[in-house]
Structure 1
Amino acid sequence: MDERRRTEELAHAYEQRLAADDRDGRRARGAFYTPPDLVAWVLDRALEPGTTRVLDPACGTGHFLVAAARRLGVRAVHGSDLDAEAVRIARLRLAAEDPSVPAADIERQVRVADGLTAWEGERFDAVVGNPPFLGQLRRRTATAGPSAHGLGAYTDTSAVFLHRALDLVRPGGAVALVQPLSVLAARDATRVREAVADAGAVTEMWVSERPVFAGTPVRTCVPVVRLGATGGPGPDDWGRLAAPYFGIPPVDLRRVGSSLSRLGELATCTADFRDQYYGLVPFVGENDDTKDGEGTPLVTSGLIEPGACEWGRRRTRFAGQEYAAPVVDVAALAAADPRLAAWARSRLVPKILVAGQGRVIEAVADEQGAWLPSVPVVSVLPHDPADLWRLLAVLLAPPVVAHAAARYLGTGLSPGSVKVSARQLADLPLPVDAAAWAEGAELARRGEVAEVGRLMTVAYAADPADGVLDWWLNRVAQRPGRR
């Protein structure tokens, strides 16, 4: 018992030293201490009767290995890490669990190696652990990036481990690796989610509502993948398993839709880029400084409310400067940069502007085509201007907001925010009840936002008992003022 305690203290001291020695915080973010209750949750689900081989491919000082060894025996566990000192401590901890296991055997089972390339040709009953997150690839693994594993260049390191683990588990086995919440919907993790669907199914999900790892604000989850299983969420629906943790009501819009089934059939949804953002900087000033008020209003995300624009009523920031009423000198812009001027003309049309993210989908109609959007505002350009208010009603619809909040959970700055890209806006389903939709559009024109929510809940055939309207109204009411 004394030797166990000594090695536990050694592991704790090493992790504390890593965090203290790394002044810029990068190492602290990589050397996470996994709470014992989370380790137990993972092992409860990953280890089935008959499990004899378990792998932690980025084992650090061995928290998962030791906990698994206490259930299965030291000979059942395997691990790897490029941190030689961490591996040494993990071996000492396992030796303390069962001194009868020769040190040479433990050295073969727990290796100083890259978990993304080690263990080739071997199969395990379960792969578990807490792989490094967010840019820790160079410290904890080999220098080869995600592209070396057939994934996008910006795929998070932890998701690369999840992808690799699918090839290391026998049919019927389990993979349960801690992931950042962004794995649920991030575009760069799409191939990983698709690979999971090809290999099996996510059968359970652990989600942290708050950060649980010291030294990082990242919220995390653990998708439990069973190889060969069926019936799990599709690659675009992992967020639905996590939605209940954040109070998002269940809404399934895949079962609704009219003959024009997607918003993109009525409008072009487009996001602008840094070229437009930085190109505008020399031409932006205060409205009071322009001659005869001739400037064109510049609308930032912080000025967009559900169904309303706060330009001139709320201060905002653009390019690091605060403005009371920012405007663009379009005439000067046209003289200086014809290409940027052409972009401005393409945006000065009737449209809907959608904020980058918010507690709901925050959208407002620009009926006169008088405003220019600031990145990351998304422009929704109707093919027929007569559809402007119908499109706004769709974007304000509580079922649509709940659908987006669940499906794209984890992509915003916080789990409470709804972040929808231009492509995702275009993919939103249209309502089934045309009469309620038309009435909702008229209410949107009049600015009666709460009534729009009520009518559009009916338009999507959502059950009021599900609470989606109350959830939406509460989030609209709780929106904090933004700068």
Structure 2
Amino acid sequence: MLDQQSVANSDERRRLGSWYTPPALIERMLNLLTSDGWSVEPASDKMRVLDPSCGDGRLLLAVKNRMPRRCSLIGCDVNPQTRKSNEAHGIEFVEANGLDIDWAAFHSEQGFDLVVSNPPFLSQLSASTSRKGASARGGGPYANSAMEFCLAGVEALRPGGRLAIVLPQSVLASRDTAELRARVTSLATPVTSWWSSSPQFDADVTVAVLVFERRKTFVEGSDAPWTSAITTALGIPPIPTLYTSGVVGDRATATANFRDEYYALVPAVADHHNGPPLVTSGLIDPGACLWGTHPVRFAHQLFTAPRVDVALLTGRFSEWAHKMLRPKVLVAAQTRTIEAVADERGEWLPGVPVTTVIPSELDDLLPLAAVINSPIAALIAWHERAGTGLSPTSLRLSPTLILELPWPQHQFNAEIVSQLARSEQHTFGIEMCAAFGVAGDEAELITTWWRTAGQLRRKRASPMGKNPSSVD
């Protein structure tokens, strides 16, 4: 096959999203295709197989060598350098963008039996790979082009045909790919999936393999996240039946600080005695604030007890600081579970990108901290947002997601949030599960998972004089 390094240079490969599929991942894809007994037994007619972003044709050749049926192989790619390699292996090569062709009617046929694809991963946050706007197939402006190939793949299938595709994990729960997920599931049924936290090839992107089967009839699709590939691999329990009464947003508002607040804070932060403590994500443990007991790194500087001199904040940021100095719940970013702490006296300023949850009524402060810290909240967040964090096993929580967390139907004692600060996680977890109507073995399973996941982060926390507990 064509050597990976022969495709121009790394910049060109990045521009094309040209990252070839390693043999182990190909084997994984083909195993998933038939893991449920999908029939590929010999038949009188050829199996029509398409790869709409074929590169050097290695996926199609693997199918040909694996399948007991004779295959008619069609490969498409924008790179003319791959033509020779494909045609040398009996692949009909089409030089084009695979998204620009009506594959369902290609050669006047009625669709393909199998589509395999490791599509270009073209991030819309980079100027060199952006399509300069929303996808013509649907989705938001930041929808990775790999999801367009997923939709094109199911559109190319005959009823009963299958798509096996490699996707970057970021698209599984991305807001901008929601419409594309709905369109895919209106045409095809998810069959199975696979995910690993280890990067699989040179792109250094964590990926999942998903298999879909084309439906016989169109149905109303769902834009729900495709996170089961990740949650199953990580051993995250399914969401049980919950008894709820509204959502967190019925009792609070939430905001997150970003770049502007960060740069405004930089000159005002120091280890001095003036101003409110600066609390970053690394200083937030469930139910506890580590400020003053653990060092923290902010703006590439190490602090022992950072405070913000509000007098040094300029423009609108002085007013912002005064608005933040009120009772609130601070929620850490990029964590394995949801980690939040109540600022009962309204004394702290949130770092970036800490989320601030402000109760509508002061009496709701501790209940909010309890619900947000609960195992049920963490479980829902994983099923909704798996794959969106900076690391494969962390969550990126938005204010919207926090406000959409359900509120338990059953009464609970808000003071139990203090159990977290006393390291009584099991008792807290079981009681909060009960508030949602979850008990017995289900509550034990969820609480055990939640405690284990949370411990991984807490082990990183260091007392004063050792390594800093966060980098912001």
TM-score (norm: length of structure 1):
0.83
| Pair 137,396 (structure 1): closer, same or farther in 2 beyond 3 Å | closer
CA distance in 2, matches of 1:413, 1:24: 25
CA distance in 2, matches of 1:139, 1:62: 28
Q: Residue in 1 aligned with 2:257?
A: 272
SS at match of 1:430: strand
| Pair 201,22 (structure 1): closer, same or farther in 2 beyond 3 Å | same
- Cα distance, 1:80 vs. partner? 0.5
- Cα distance, 1:390 vs. partner? 0.5
- Cα distance, 1:16 vs. partner? 4.0
Q: Is the 8 A contact 1:132 1:140 kept in 2?
A: no
Amino acid at match of 1:177: I
| Pair 308,318 (structure 1): closer, same or farther in 2 beyond 3 Å | same
Q: Residue in 1 aligned with 2:338?
A: 361
Q: Residue in 1 aligned with 2:386?
A: 409
1:461 aligns with 2:457: no
Q: Is the 8 A contact 2:138 2:180 kept in 1?
A: no
Higher mean C-alpha displacement, 381-390 vs 119-128: 119-128
1:328 aligns with 2:308: yes
SS at match of 2:81: helix
User: Please, which of 110, 115, 118 is the counterpart of residue 101 of structure 2?
Assistant: 118
Residues 57-84 of structure 1, C-alpha deviation per residue, up to 9 Å, x if partnerless?
A: 1001112211233327675221111122
- Cα distance, 1:428 vs. partner? 0.7
| Pair 76,141 (structure 1): closer, same or farther in 2 beyond 3 Å | farther
- After superposition, residues 303-318 of structure 1 pair within 5 angstroms as 303-318=283-298
CA distance in 2, matches of 1:41, 1:232: 29
1:245 aligns with 2:222: no
Q: Is the 8 A contact 1:246 1:415 kept in 2?
A: no
Structure 1 runs of 4+ with >4 Å offset: 45-51, 72-75, 136-146, 229-234, 441-450
CA distance in 2, matches of 1:83, 1:267: 52
Q: Is the 8 A contact 2:276 2:307 kept in 1?
A: yes
| Pair 408,141 (structure 1): closer, same or farther in 2 beyond 3 Å | closer
CA distance in 2, matches of 1:34, 1:136: 25
- Cα distance, 1:38 vs. partner? 2.1
1:207 aligns with 2:187: no
CA distance in 2, matches of 1:27, 1:185: 24
1:473 aligns with 2:468: no
SS at match of 2:393: coil
Q: Is the 8 A contact 1:116 1:141 kept in 2?
A: no
| Pair 18,324 (structure 1): closer, same or farther in 2 beyond 3 Å | farther
Q: Residue in 2 aligned with 1:7?
A: none
Q: Residue in 1 aligned with 2:4?
A: 15
CA distance in 2, matches of 1:476, 1:202: 31
SS at match of 1:59: coil
Q: What 5-or-longer segments of structure 1 have no aligned partner? A: 1-9, 95-105, 288-292
- Cα distance, 1:394 vs. partner? 0.6
Larger helix proportion of the pair: 1
- Cα distance, 1:204 vs. partner? 1.4
Q: What 5-or-longer segments of structure 2 have no aligned partner? A: 462-468
Q: Residue in 2 aligned with 1:69?
A: 64
Q: Residue in 1 aligned with 2:51?
A: 56
SS at match of 1:381: strand
| Pair 262,86 (structure 1): closer, same or farther in 2 beyond 3 Å | same
Q: Residue in 1 aligned with 2:464?
A: none
- Cα distance, 1:363 vs. partner? 0.5
Q: Is the 8 A contact 1:307 1:447 kept in 2?
A: no
| Pair 116,459 (structure 1): closer, same or farther in 2 beyond 3 Å | same
- After superposition, residues 388-407 of structure 1 pair within 5 angstroms as 388-407=365-384
| Pair 441,18 (structure 1): closer, same or farther in 2 beyond 3 Å | same
Q: Is the 8 A contact 1:300 1:375 kept in 2?
A: yes
SS at match of 1:203: strand
CA distance in 2, matches of 1:68, 1:249: 34
1:181 aligns with 2:169: yes
Q: What root-mean-square deviation, in Å, do the aligned CA atoms of Structure 1 and Structure 2 show?
A: 3.2
| Pair 389,205 (structure 1): closer, same or farther in 2 beyond 3 Å | same
Q: Residue in 1 aligned with 2:466?
A: none
- Cα distance, 1:203 vs. partner? 2.1
User: Please, which of 375, 378, 381 is the counterpart of residue 352 of structure 2?
Assistant: 375
- Cα distance, 1:244 vs. partner? 1.8
- Cα distance, 1:448 vs. partner? 4.9
Q: Residue in 2 aligned with 1:222?
A: 209
- Cα distance, 1:178 vs. partner? 0.5
Q: Residue in 1 aligned with 2:178?
A: 190
CA distance in 1, matches of 2:403, 2:410: 19
Higher mean C-alpha displacement, 370-379 vs 169-178: 169-178
CA distance in 2, matches of 1:381, 1:75: 61
CA distance in 2, matches of 1:269, 1:276: 16
- Cα distance, 1:31 vs. partner? 2.0
1:430 aligns with 2:407: yes
Q: Is the 8 A contact 1:431 1:437 kept in 2?
A: no
Q: Residue in 2 aligned with 1:131?
A: 119
- Cα distance, 1:444 vs. partner? 6.0
| Pair 310,439 (structure 1): closer, same or farther in 2 beyond 3 Å | closer
SS at match of 1:210: coil
